[in-house]
Every structure is written in C-alpha cells, then in structure tokens.
Amino acid sequence: MLPRSLLATVLLASAVSAEPALTTIQDVLYKADGTRFNGTLTISWHSFQSADSSAVVMQSTTVRVLDGNLRVQLVPGAAATPPSTYSVVYNSDGRVQFRETWSVPVSQQPLRVSQVRVATSSAGSSTAAGDTSSGTTSVTESDVTGLLADLGSRPVKGPGYAPAGAAIVDSSGLLETAAGVPTDCLHVDGSSGPCGAQAPSFTDADIPAGVVDGSNATFTLSATPAPTASLSLYRNGLLQKAGQDYTLTGQSLQFAAGAVPQPGDTLLASYRLDGSAGTTSSYPVAQVLCSGNGTSVSSSALASVGACTIPGGILQAGDRVEIHFDLSHQGTAAGFTFEVDWGATAIVHRTGAASDAQIAGRADAAILSSGAQLDVQSWGTVLGFATGVGNATDAYANGLTINFQASASGGDSVAMSEFSVVRLP
C-alpha cells in the first residue's frame, strides 16, 4: 500500500496532467457545383472555462481541408459556463468565402458541420459547402481589432457636405463642400471667388503736392503706394532713401530735417498702385538683365555706345525695368548728342554743351500688357535737369533691345562710362 503522502502526490499529478475532453467535427465539404471544397478553416474563440474546469485561452487555429475532408477536435464550448462559441472563417481561392458560428457540444461520436452550426435569422447568405442547412453570423465593429480606431481617423462628412462639388476640410476637420458658383476659383484656405486678377498699375513721374520753400517738410502723393516699398522718390534726380531722407505714411511724405526740399528743387515719385492685385512675374526678386562700360564714339552721326538685348519671354506685364546710364565727354571743341532707345522708340534725346564733361540719366519702364509706360530723367555738368513721361508701343514678347547712342564733332569723343538694366518684379 502506498503511503498517504505519496498517494496524494500521484492523484494531484494525475489531476494536473488531465487534458480537457474534445469533441470531433468530421465531415466532407462540397461546393455548390458538386466539386469538393479545398481550402482552410480559421477557427477562433474567446477565453472560457470548459465543463471540466479546464481554462481555455483566447486563440485561433487553422485547419486545412483537402478534397473536401474536414476533421478537427475542439473543446466543447456549449457545455461551458457561460456557453462559448467558435467563429469559423472559410478561405478558398485566396480569399474569404464566408463566415459562420459553431456551438460544439459534448459528444463521444464525431459530429457533422450541420450539427454544430449556429443558425441565424438571415436568409442563407453563408451556406456551408456540402450541407443543406444555412446561416450567417454578424460581426460587430468592436469584434474587429483596430476597426474603430481606423474609422475614427477617417475624415467625416460635415453638415455642409454635398456631392458634385470641391471638397474642403473645415476648422473642425470635417469634410465640407466649397461654396460658390461654377466659374469661381478655389483658394487654399477653402474660400472661393472670381478667377484671375487685375494687372497691377503704376504711377510714374508723380509730383508730390506741397510748398517747396525750404521749411515745409510734408508733401502728399497723388495715391497710396502699394506696396510701400515700391515707391521711388527723387529730389533733383537723386534717389531718396526711405527711413533716412523721408518716411511714408499712406500718401503722406515726411522729409527729415537735413533733407527738406529747398526752393527750386524738383520732386518726382514713381510707385505701384495695387500690389495686392498680384503680378504675372515669374521672378520674385530684382534681376540684372545687362550692365557694362560700353564703348566710345567720335563720329558726327549717332552710333551705339552700349546696348542691352532682353530675350523674349523675360518681360511680363506688371514688371518694372530700371535703366541707368552715365556718359563722359572728352574734349571741349564742340557739343555732343546722346539718345536712349526703347526698341524703336527714342525715350531720351538731348544735346550737351562743349563744357559738359559728364552726363547722367535714368529711366523707369512700367511693363503693360501691351507696350510700356516710361518716365525719364537726365542732366549733366552744365546740362540742366530734365524729365519726361510717355508711352512706347514696342512689343516685348519676342525680345527687345535698349540702345544707347551718342555722337560728337570737332575731334571730341563720347564714351559710355557705365550702364545697367535691372528688372524688378
């Protein structure tokens, strides 16, 4: 006879090593066309405690079905407390064919699929292959791992959503439909409005209003520059520096104490009127198109002392071109002539005296949709300061040449000291 302690140990080991009872499901599965089913069954279950108190943890298993033959052993879930079922997914031809639920009872004899299948009220949408009974099981969203989180991360339709329109995302993250008429354009902020924009306009050779008496420091422009930085202000042909020589507030110019215009001074201003209208320019910053020292001439007929050829496609409506030039006169025998041509249009043509040793000038061209509007200034050692404004109809789409010409006589010569052509956006 075994000692009591040893007998207790044997009985405990026997109880621990005992496996839960299994029920066999065995059947031959067919497809509706009479051929045998081939594929796999993925059987999954939640954790439960079987009738013999065995703890069955949540997991799944895959059973291969070859030539219709199915055989699998499962712990009876129908006898568990509370009863537990199995979820069965039929896979064939690389995709899920259908799903159903099994309730497996305790049985010493093998059971057919029809004996464990849980029937549902839905009409025959999940008929098992080879069996006449039918049923479907519903899968709730919470049963699918990660489904609720995935659905929550998707955009949701807002109250303003409508079909056949451009979709926008509102401030709450909801999908709305952009409002407007079919001809409107959609902006990146979700708003809509008319397409296109008016070309920017310019004011050139504007004479600020105000008394030039040496004491008055406040002058008024004809319009408000927009943007403010587009203002070019000249006093006697010299470019004034914003913040140092003057400050601009709206249309009002306030000169600094040391830069107050004196009697006889001339003020001219050029600026853009509406920077908010945008521009068709492809370049966001200033671009030097040409610069150089040029050549010298001593002939009595006008001849080129420098030229800038702007290729086609560079200039666009809304651009501004600044032209600067400086000439030197060698000799005192006679006067001389100089000219600046914008394409075929002469924008400057003046004659200097024999005592004019140096000439300076500049021109601004506002590029329009067709042609350009230009304002010019020139002066010399003796030659008085002169200004002008006008239009040039020369086409620029296929390119345009700015030509600097001069002539001299009596053995004198005229040289181009320096010229530059700068394109502003």
Average pLDDT over residues 55-61: 92
Indicate whether 272 pLDDT > 80: yes
Residues 13, 367: Cα–Cα separation, whole Å: 100
CA distance 361 to 405: 13
> For the chain, give me the number of helices (H) and strands (E)?
3, 31
Rg (CA), the chain: 47
Helix (H) or strand (E) holding 11: helix 4-17
**Residue closest to 115 by CA, chosen among 68, 142, 76:** 76
DSSP, residue by residue, 7-67: HHHHHHHHHHHPPPP-EEEEEE-B-TTSPBP-EEEEEEE--EE-TT--EEPSEEEEEEEBT
The whole-chain average pLDDT of the chain stands at 84
CB of 203 closer than 8 Å to CB of 275: no
Residue 34 parent element (H or E): none
Calculate the alpha carbon distances from 57 to 44, 46, 50, 140 in Å.
11, 7, 11, 21
Share of the chain above pLDDT 70, in %: 86
- Residue 260: Cβ within 10 Å count: 19
> For 162-166, 226-230, 365-369, 417-421, which range has the lowest pLDDT when averaged over its residues?
162-166
Structural domain 287-424, CATH architecture: Sandwich (2.60)
Task: Express each pLDDT in 119-164 by its tens digit.
Answer: 865 444 444 444 444 445 567 777 788 787 777 777 788 777 778 7
pLDDT value of residue 274: 67
d(CA 301, CA 407): 5
* pLDDT beyond 60 at 281: no
* 275 phi and psi angles, rounded to 5 deg: -70, -20
- Write out the H or E segment, with its range, that includes residue 218: strand 218-220
Using an 8 Å Cβ cutoff, are 32 and 63 in contact? no
**Of 393, 398, 396, 404, the residue nearest 423 (C-alpha):** 396
Facing residues of 270 across strands? 232
Higher pLDDT: 381 or 424? It is 381
Q: Give yes or no for residue 331 having a pLDDT over 80.
A: yes
Q: What is the C-alpha to C-alpha distance for residues 335 and 408, in angstroms, rounded to an integer? A: 7
Q: Which two tokens stand for residue 198?
A: 């008016």
Per-residue pLDDT tens for 197-223? 555 667 777 889 999 999 999 999 988
Average pLDDT over residues 300-323: 89
Mean pLDDT, residues 42-56 = 90
What amino acid occupies position 231? L
Q: 19-143 has which CATH code?
A: 2.60.40
Collapsing DSSP states into helix, strand and coil, what is residue 150?
A: helix
- Residue 8, both tokens: 């207790």
In the chain, domain spans: 19-143, 202-277, 287-424
Name the residue among 175, 285, 173, 267 with its Cα closest to residue 222: 267
Cβ within 8 Å of residue 379, ≥6 positions away: 237, 359, 360, 361, 385, 386
pLDDT score for 277: 42
Average pLDDT over residues 227-231: 88
Mean pLDDT, to the nearest integer, of 166-177?
82
Confidence band of 393 (pLDDT split at 50, 70, 90): very high
- pLDDT, tens only, 249-267: 999 999 999 999 999 999 9
What is the DSSP code (8-state) at residue 280?
A: -
What is the structure's pLDDT at 198? 53
- Whole-number pLDDT of residue 137: 56
pLDDT given for residue 187 in this prediction: 76
